[in-house]
């Protein structure tokens, strides 16, 4: 049902399946606090949503173990669902299977690029990625050239590296593959 006072949907009625779909819709509006153009569903960190009666449980996986944004993400998911009419909200963080950039949506990758962050390259199918990391070709999100160099293994956050474009001379973050 829709609350006419603030146009937010409340889901006190409906089947568990309908409530689960509604929970997913609400969660898909929650943004990453470090990269606000991405939602948590763009990132692919929401693994599952379970609705049983009055309880909703959201299973999330951090982009890397120890990610400082996870507490804020959990809180924002919880607040969004409470505002949406869910009463008993539980957010559970799981580390296995480990998150991978393969779980990001194509839409999320495009949003990163439009925001000025190079999206992760497709995962290379090699035995030891470390051997190839130093020579990884990263496209500049500003001028689209591949004549770039890594300045630092860590950028504005630990999940990004800092690069510089040798053509347009602009620095940019690269969302690391893992």
All structural domains of the chain, each given as residue ranges with its CATH number in brackets, are 16-93 (3.30.300.130), 101-175 (no CATH)
- Contact between 84 and 7 (Cβ < 8 Å): no
Residue 132 has pLDDT above 60, yes or no: no
The tens digit of pLDDT for each residue in 49-69 reads 999 888 999 999 999 888 889
- How far is 20 from 94, CA to CA, in rounded Å? 19
**CA distance between the termini of the chain:** 41
% the chain with pLDDT above 90: 68
- Sequential DSSP letters for 40-53: HHHHT-EEEEEEET
Which H helix or E strand runs over 81?
Answer: helix 70-83
Of the listed ranges 36-50, 52-66, 117-131, the one predicted with least confidence: 117-131
Please compute the mean of the pLDDT values over residues 70-91 and round it to a whole number.
96
- How far is 10 from 84, CA to CA, in rounded Å? 5
- How far is 81 from 114, CA to CA, in rounded Å? 29
Of the listed ranges 109-118, 131-140, 166-175, the one predicted with least confidence: 131-140
Residue 130 has pLDDT above 50, yes or no: yes
The predicted pLDDT at position 20 comes to: 94
Residue 10 has pLDDT above 50, yes or no: no
Per-residue confidence band for 110, with pLDDT thresholds at 50, 70 and 90: very high
Q: Which of 58, 42, 151, 161 is nearest to 106 (CA)?
A: 42
Per-residue confidence band for 15, with pLDDT thresholds at 50, 70 and 90: confident
Pairing of strands 46-52, 171-175: unpaired
Which are the contacts of 108, defined by CB distance < 8 A and separation ≥ 6? Answer: 38, 39, 42, 43, 44, 119
- For residue 70, count other CB atoms closer than 10 A to its CB: 19
- For residue 92, count other CB atoms closer than 10 A to its CB: 13
């Amino acid at each position: 049902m829709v609350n006419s006072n603030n146009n937010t949907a409340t889901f006190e009625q409906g089947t568990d399946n309908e409530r689960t779909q509604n929970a997913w819709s609400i969660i898909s509006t929650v943004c990453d606090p470090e990269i606000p153009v991405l939602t948590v569903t763009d990132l692919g960190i929401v693994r599952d949503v379970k609705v049983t009666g009055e309880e909703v449980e959201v299973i999330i996986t951090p982009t890397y173990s120890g990610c400082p944004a996870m507490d804020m993400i959990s809180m924002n998911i919880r607040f969004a669902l409470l505002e949406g009419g869910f009463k008993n909200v539980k957010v559970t963080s799981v580390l296995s299977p480990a998150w991978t950039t393969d779980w990001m949506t194509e839409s999320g990758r495009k949003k990163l690029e439009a925001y000025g962050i190079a999206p992760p390259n497709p995962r290379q199918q090699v035995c030891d990625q470390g051997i190839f990391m130093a020579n990884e070709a990263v496209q500049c999100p500003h001028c689209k050239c591949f004549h770039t160099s890594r300045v630092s293994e860590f950028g504005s956050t630990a999940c990004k590296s800092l690069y510089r474009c040798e053509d347009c001379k602009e620095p940019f973050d690269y969302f690391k593959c893992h």
